Structure 1
């Protein structure tokens, strides 16, 4: 920002800077972490005073390595913090392995003291594993939603880019951290400052907690056809109990033959084939991200028997569900970004 530019008005009731503790899990995602810490730095700069401070924490108190191999020097270990601090847990790949007992116990201890705690990217898993999201609304990266739903039934999972529910925060990963931090800055010091920070970031479209993290179905499939989008939405919402093509066609006011022609024209596959691919994609996520047995994965994806599931899986992925599970290692959570 040029010196000649007018500083934004800062509406602040805070008597001291708000401090964030970034708990960096092993193999955390740099993008989500940077998207959270940079708005704080910029807020201080454009306000011309220290509104926010932060420390980097980790289990070993020395160094944390993110998923791209970059290492960060830590300021502290799992030490006791102040009650008015905000903890943001930064997750990434293999978050289950990174959610160790010391980390979970530290989060539970600080939560009992009333500390605000959030999970960035896959770290919503860590916060939920500590039991801190039970009965709360939360979000997590879309790729990890299926496995999260299977493990944490008491969490009200949404598809929002971020969620603030009381003193629990969560983001979907990627640039969603920026949206969350802009909201917190606006709450702390006013919309004027938050908008100025967004401008500094060249962030022209600020999302709210009402925005969903995935592209709309027409954008995702590259086709704008209302009835096709409606059918695909019904398919995605009914994986465990698949709906027959005839019923899908009836629900959108078409004949089964018309539905077949629609899928062939725009997606070059039958409705049955497309539905099967959706179910197998969910099955693969569950195999790679959870400890669910193969038979339970099969049932969760609408397959009546493990043998039929295995046959379909092998035809699509050229490997069996059992080999897929073995190649990934039980319980590891991957992330695409």
Structure 2
């Protein structure tokens, strides 16, 4: 069998060893991987075992995958005993989500906040205006601003910009796309505007980050 943990799938895919297979990677790496290797089906799960290929998202997902393989080969009781020795209370299923829910990540159950951030995360390339977000939520723009200030200590625009810049950071670090292309893909109207915002957020210019990774 051949397999990769997290970004290990990049090397296997580049060698043509994953063509036509289903794999998974860490959620931050998925967009870049899908763009570079269209011949491979990349999904957001904890791990995947496709014939004689295995992959997982990294971290504790590797333990979940190991326990699943042991259960298949040697039975559930042995897998349970090993999990107890590892103080791993339960083996998560393959299709389990990688990321915590928005409620957990934001530390709030406020439906306006959770739905607003969900809209932001699903509209990166063409950002929604505050008015558009408020309309979709059936709330006033002022109400949305108040909720963000109360729970996140910033404006909706600042949080939205943070989401888009984090996406840009991941793309610069893991892909070969041009800085201009990445700026546009993350909803910035110009490279100059993007570069200033990026440097304020990460204390490094996009071009410097790209050079450091080479």
Residue deviations 1:43-75, cap 9 Å, x none? xxxxxxxxxxxxxxxxxxxxxxxxxxxxxxxxx
TM-score (norm 1): 0.59
Relative to the length of structure 2, the TM-score reads: 0.91
1:308 equivalent in alignment to 2:193: yes
CA contact (8 A) 1:121 1:171 kept: yes
Aligned equivalent of 2:141, options 245, 256, 279? 256
CA drift at 1:161: 1.3
Within 1, Cα distance between the matches of 2:120 and 2:18? Answer: 29
Is the contact made by 2:22 and 2:41 (CA closer than 8 Å) also made in structure 1? yes
Deviates most, 303-312 or 177-186? 303-312
What is aligned with 1:168? 53
Note the C-alpha offset of 1:179: 0.7
Give unmatched runs, 5+ long, in structure 2: none
SS in 2 for 1:170: strand
Equivalent in the alignment of 1:205: 90
RMSD after superposition:
1.8
Is the 2:168–2:183 contact (alpha carbons within 8 Å) kept by the matching residues of 1?
yes
Q: Report Cα offsets for 1:241-269 as digits up to 9, x if no partner.
A: 21222222222221211111111110011
The answer to whether the 8 Å contact 1:121/1:141 transfers is yes
Q: Distance in 2 between matches of 1:176 and 1:217?
A: 20
Partner in structure 2 of residue 275 of structure 1: 160
Contact 1:138 1:170 in 2 (8 A): yes
Matches within 5 A, 1:4-23: none
Tell me, yes or no, if the aligned pair for 1:146 and 1:282 is still in contact at 8 Å: no
Instruction: Note if contact 2:3-2:55 (Cα within 8 Å) is conserved in structure 1.
Output: yes
Task: Name the structure where helix makes up a greater proportion of residues.
Answer: 2
What residue in structure 2 maps to residue 30 of structure 1? Answer: none
Q: Deviations over 1:14-60 (max 9, x none)?
A: xxxxxxxxxxxxxxxxxxxxxxxxxxxxxxxxxxxxxxxxxxxxxxx
- How big is the shift at 1:130? 2.0
| Superposition deviation, residue 172 in structure 1 | 0.6
CA distance in 1, matches of 2:24, 2:120: 22
* Structure whose alpha-carbon radius of gyration is higher: 1
2:102 counterpart of 1:220: no
